[in-house]
């Protein structure tokens, strides 16, 4: 048995409070097994990545943080609540056919970042409580320092997948979507997705790619007219 590699992460959690930020990526995590109140469920998950615009680390690098969501737009879904808060208006039935998650990348927002004591003594948890529209006077779009990322399992891009963090790749590799798109489900004797009904999330299929940002900063003249999502 080999010894595990030590955790070499140098991640520094961002400060709490209302923080101007920009979206730097969308990652499709596929269908994951989750346990809630003793019941196991299969839920499609995504992760949205953010970079803080004002606060910097001691070495000058921007703070980063992410939030994981169930890919659901039901009335009780956190994803719907955060997207509507981000847009500054609710979704209409017509919006769902036009909405593309990719358009979130480089769009500015305001994050409500919260810190709480963790389960282990002395440990602190930092997380995004909710996402809101950008602060007054802020650009609609911003150019992040971090490389932007877009990955979707609906149209698999091996290059984009290879750029994901190793732990994220391992999480995705266990999903039925990954096994199907890479052909490993057939090698194992069938597509595991055939055994499950539609997850009911009604998400829109989008192509996968990894996009590096260019110059995206603009001054928004009218938030209702210029919001691209």
Asked whether the beta carbons of 78 and 46 are under 8 A apart, the reply is no
User: Is the model's pTM score more than 0.85?
Assistant: no
Helix (H, G, I), strand (E, B) or coil at 208: coil
Give pLDDT, residue 209: 37
| Closest to 63 measured CA to CA, from 50, 77, 73 | 50
Q: Is residue 8 included in any domain, yes or no?
A: no
Q: What is the total residue count of the chain?
A: 229
Q: Is residue 78 included in any domain, yes or no?
A: yes
For residues 229 and 224, give the distance between their C-alpha atoms in angstroms, rounded to a whole number. 10
Q: Is residue 156 included in any domain, yes or no?
A: yes
Answer left, alpha or beta for residue 84, where phi above 0 means left and psi between -120 and 50 means alpha: alpha
With DSSP H G I counted as helix, E B as strand and the rest as coil, what are the percentages for the chain, rounded to 5?
20, 30, 45
* Owning domain of residue 160: 17-226
Q: For residue 158, give every residue at least 6 positions away whose Cβ sits within 8 Å of its Cβ, in sequence order, or none.
A: none
Per-residue tokens: 34: 């989750």
- 133-184 pLDDT per residue, tens: 999 999 999 999 999 999 999 999 999 999 999 999 999 999 999 999 998 7
**Any idea what the Cα angle at residue 23 is, between residues 42 and 53, rounded to 5°?**
140
- 25-39 pLDDT per residue, tens: 999 999 999 888 888
Q: Is residue 10 included in any domain, yes or no?
A: no
The structural domain count of the chain equals 1
Asked whether the beta carbons of 154 and 148 are under 8 A apart, the reply is no
Per-residue pLDDT, averaged over 7-29, amounts to 91
Q: Is residue 116 included in any domain, yes or no?
A: yes
Q: Is residue 222 included in any domain, yes or no?
A: yes
């Amino acid at each position: 048995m080999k010894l595990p590699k030590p955790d070499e992460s140098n991640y520094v959690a961002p400060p709490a409070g209302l923080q101007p930020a920009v979206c730097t990526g969308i990652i499709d995590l596929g269908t994951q097994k989750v346990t809630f109140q003793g019941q196991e469920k299969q839920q499609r998950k995504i992760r949205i990545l953010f970079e803080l615009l004002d606060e910097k680390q001691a070495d000058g690098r921007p703070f980063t943080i992410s939030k994981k969501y169930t890919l659901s737009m039901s009335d009780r879904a956190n994803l719907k609540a955060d997207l509507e808060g981000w847009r500054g208006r609710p979704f209409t039935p017509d919006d769902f056919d036009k909405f593309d998650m990719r358009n979130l990348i480089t769009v500015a927002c305001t994050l409500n970042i919260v810190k709480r004591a963790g389960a282990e003594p002395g440990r602190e948890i930092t997380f995004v409580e909710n996402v809101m529209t950008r602060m007054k006077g802020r650009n609609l779009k911003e150019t992040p320092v971090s490389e932007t990322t877009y990955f979707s399992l609906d149209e698999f891009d091996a290059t984009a997948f290879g750029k994901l963090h190793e732990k994220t790749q391992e999480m995705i590799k266990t999903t039925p979507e990954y096994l199907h798109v890479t052909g490993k489900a057939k090698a194992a004797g069938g597509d595991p997705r055939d055994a499950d009904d539609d997850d009911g999330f009604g998400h829109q299929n989008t192509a996968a790619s990894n996009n590096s940002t260019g110059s995206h900063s603009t001054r928004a003249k009218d938030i209702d007219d210029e919001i691209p999502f």
